[in-house]
């Protein structure tokens, strides 16, 4: 059953950067956005700024590393919104200063990175897939990175690379497990984008970085499932 418009879309890490731009672009298409972030003042301010643009955006706090916070969000969605059509797992961390190379990498850095970049998206998928299955419609977008591609693995930035390679594996396995015809699960590489994480020297704008996320979030029935995409083109894992 095709989801009614406007669709209800949840974006993690939506208070800045690519997540904020994805919220803006999706809302401009007429969808209802639930912007989530761990930073309460930042999330409220971001949602208010988009609302001032006339967009249908509301904020809910979410610490993706907290089971209690995810459960609270799940209950809010089920009771107050009644459905969730799209989940965009965008929240992520890159601990630059602590991630100089695999030979000196501390396991605490790996654990912290995996908690946010890999385990949190998995837990959120587990939380909201039952609702998508009940309504027979869903789109899940896992925001990954080309740094997690097997052929591009290097010894530097190793915790981040490991977390994104693992997120790609999560995407593949979820797609294999979910075979309902109108629930589509994919990952994307937004590119090197000018954000707080990417830095000012990155070649891509947030508008360019968000484009494939928005495309995957709004795929029509029969769209790709279980793929990895950059600039709307499938790339190797």
Assessment of whether the complete model's pTM goes beyond 0.85: yes
Quick check: is 160 catalytic? yes
SS3 63: coil
Please answer whether residues 189 and 235 qualify as being in contact, where contact means their C-beta atoms are separated by less than 8 angstroms: yes
At 192 the pLDDT is 64
Q: What is the pLDDT of residue 46?
A: 97
Q: What is the pLDDT of residue 119?
A: 98
**Rounded CA gap, 236 and 201, in Å?**
26
Q: CA Rg, the chain, in Å? A: 17
The count of other CB atoms within 10 Å of the CB of residue 132 is 24
Residue of 94, 160, 228, 229 marked catalytic: 160
The predicted structure's pLDDT at residue 98: 87
Here the tokens at position 72 are: 């609270």
Cβ(8)–Cβ(83) below 8 Å: yes
Q: Output the tens digit of pLDDT for each of the chain's 237 residues.
A: 444 578 999 999 999 999 999 999 999 999 999 999 999 999 999 999 999 999 999 999 999 999 999 999 999 999 999 999 999 999 999 998 888 899 999 999 999 999 999 999 999 999 999 999 999 999 999 999 999 999 999 999 999 999 999 999 999 999 999 999 999 999 999 976 677 776 777 667 787 889 999 999 999 999 999 999 999 999 999
For residue 103, what are the CA distances in angstroms to 106, 152, 158?
Answer: 9, 18, 9
Position 137 scores a pLDDT of: 98
Provide the 3-class DSSP secondary structure of residue 88: strand
Which sequence spans correspond to the domains of the chain?
8-234
- pLDDT value, residue 233: 98
CATH class of 8-234: alpha beta
């Amino acid at each position: 059953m095709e989801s009614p418009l406007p669709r209800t879309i949840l974006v993690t890490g939506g208070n800045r950067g690519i997540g904020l731009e994805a919220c803006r672009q999706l809302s401009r298409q007429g969808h209802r956005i639930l912007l989530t972030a761990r930073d309460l003042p930042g999330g409220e301010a971001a949602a208010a700024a988009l609302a001032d643009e006339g967009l249908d955006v509301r904020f809910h706090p979410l610490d993706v590393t907290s089971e209690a916070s995810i459960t609270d969000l799940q209950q809010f969605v089920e009771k107050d919104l009644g459905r969730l059509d799209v989940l965009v797992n965008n929240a992520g961390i890159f601990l630059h200063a602590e991630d100089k190379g695999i030979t000196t990498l501390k396991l605490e850095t790996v654990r912290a990175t995996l908690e946010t970049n890999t385990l949190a998206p998995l837990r959120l998928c587990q939380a909201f897939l039952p609702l998508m299955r009940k309504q027979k419609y869903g789109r899940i977008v896992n925001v990954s990175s080309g740094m997690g591609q097997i052929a591009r693995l290097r010894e530097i930035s190793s915790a981040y690379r490991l977390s994104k390679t693992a997120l790609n594996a999560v995407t593949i396995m979820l797609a294999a497990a979910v075979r309902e015809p109108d629930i589509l699960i994919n990952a994307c590489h937004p590119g090197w984008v000018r954000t707080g994480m990417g830095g000012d020297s990155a070649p891509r704008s947030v508008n360019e970085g968000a484009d494939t996320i928005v495309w995957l979030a709004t795929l029509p029935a029969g769209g790709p499932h279980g793929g990895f995409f950059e600039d709307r083109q499938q790339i190797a894992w």
